Amino acid sequence: MLGFLVKHFQILSSTLTRGLLSKPWALISEVGRNGLIKGSIDIVEQHFQIVCLKDFLQNPQLHGPKIQAMFQWYALPAAEPSLLHLLPSLKVIANGGVGIDHLDVPYLNSLGVKVANTPGVVSDATADIALGLLLASARNIVETFDPKTTCLPGQLMGVEVTGSTMGIIGMGNIGYKIAQRGKGFDMKILYHNRRRRSVEDEQAVGARYCECLDDLLKESDFVVLAFNLTPETTGLISHRELSLMRPTATLVNISRGLAVDQDALVEALQSGTIRTAALDVTEPEPLPRDHPLLSLLNVLITTHIGTNTYTTTRKILQMMVDNALAAVAGQAIPNEVKAE
């Protein structure tokens, strides 16, 4: 009996060892605070042997030649040449999220490294945070919280959301989800996009296309930025654009911090050019503690939490794994981002 158990244990141990050895290796930033979520790391570990950047850098020669995939979360590990040169077998960088403005795709492709992102799965959660910021800023939800208050803040008046006009700049998946939510508040929807959406899409949310961005800025009570950051959209909202907005208007940014000229935004908020701003993204992130935006009462800032739900996080990680597995196997990557 003992011999049978020993033999069974040896077989099981050998099987587990082969399973571990057969898994491809992947580099991550860390598990926890600034890295992959502890409650979701199992999705990656099912298919990859992972090594954290800190451990990797202690002995790059040990794991460097084995690593075939890099999982980026909040743009980390940073795909810098100094790191990439230590990864001669790297086949893919699987980015968590849609935006890849932090990656030099042509350069990576020249090294034989492909890039993939996770479109679609981030749309609902990101659209939710856009509407959350819009509502919170419109109705002064954060400002009215005071645990020491003894009277109702009757003088702290907000602005009406229902029936107002929302202008969305960038009508991709996320922008369209925002429009759907705006329709639920009987908002008038304007949008500006590189390409006009179909008549059916427009009618479904009651949206009107503004070919000229200036028209959208002039007519909107809430201007929502939901576009990808590119060289053309960097600094898209600056002094001129802010001056076209209504003095009662709110700027909501769930795009990227660099989409807005922050110095111009500070000036517009201080001078009353616009009413308020609600930002899930800034440049840098987080802002320095002495940044003027943090001292303004008419600014609401969250810390890039657009996709931060357990459901969405797990969906993102699963898509990252699917992209990486395809690349490692030499198959077509479902969500490859190619150089333009």
Of 192, 197, 256, 275, catalytic: 256
Which residues does 60 contact at the CB level (< 8 Å), separation at least 6? 86
List 181, 197, 275, 304, catalytic entry: 304
Q: What is the CA radius of gyration of the chain?
A: 24
Q: Exactly one of 143, 285, 291, 314 is catalytic; name it.
A: 285
291 in active site: no
Alpha carbon distance 81, 321 (integer Å): 24
Q: Are 197 and 176 in contact (CB under 8 A)?
A: yes
Listed in sequence order, the residues at least 6 apart from 202 whose beta carbon sits closer than 8 Å to its beta carbon are: 208, 209
Q: What is the DSSP pairing of strand 67-72 with strand 25-28? A: parallel
Tokens, residue 123: 């749309």
200 is annotated as an active-site residue:
no
Active site residue 304: yes
Residue 7 C-alpha from the chain's centroid:
51
In the numeric block, which tokens belong to residue 336?
């490859």
- 8 Å CB contact between 223 and 242: no
Among all residues, which ones are annotated catalytic? 256, 285, 304
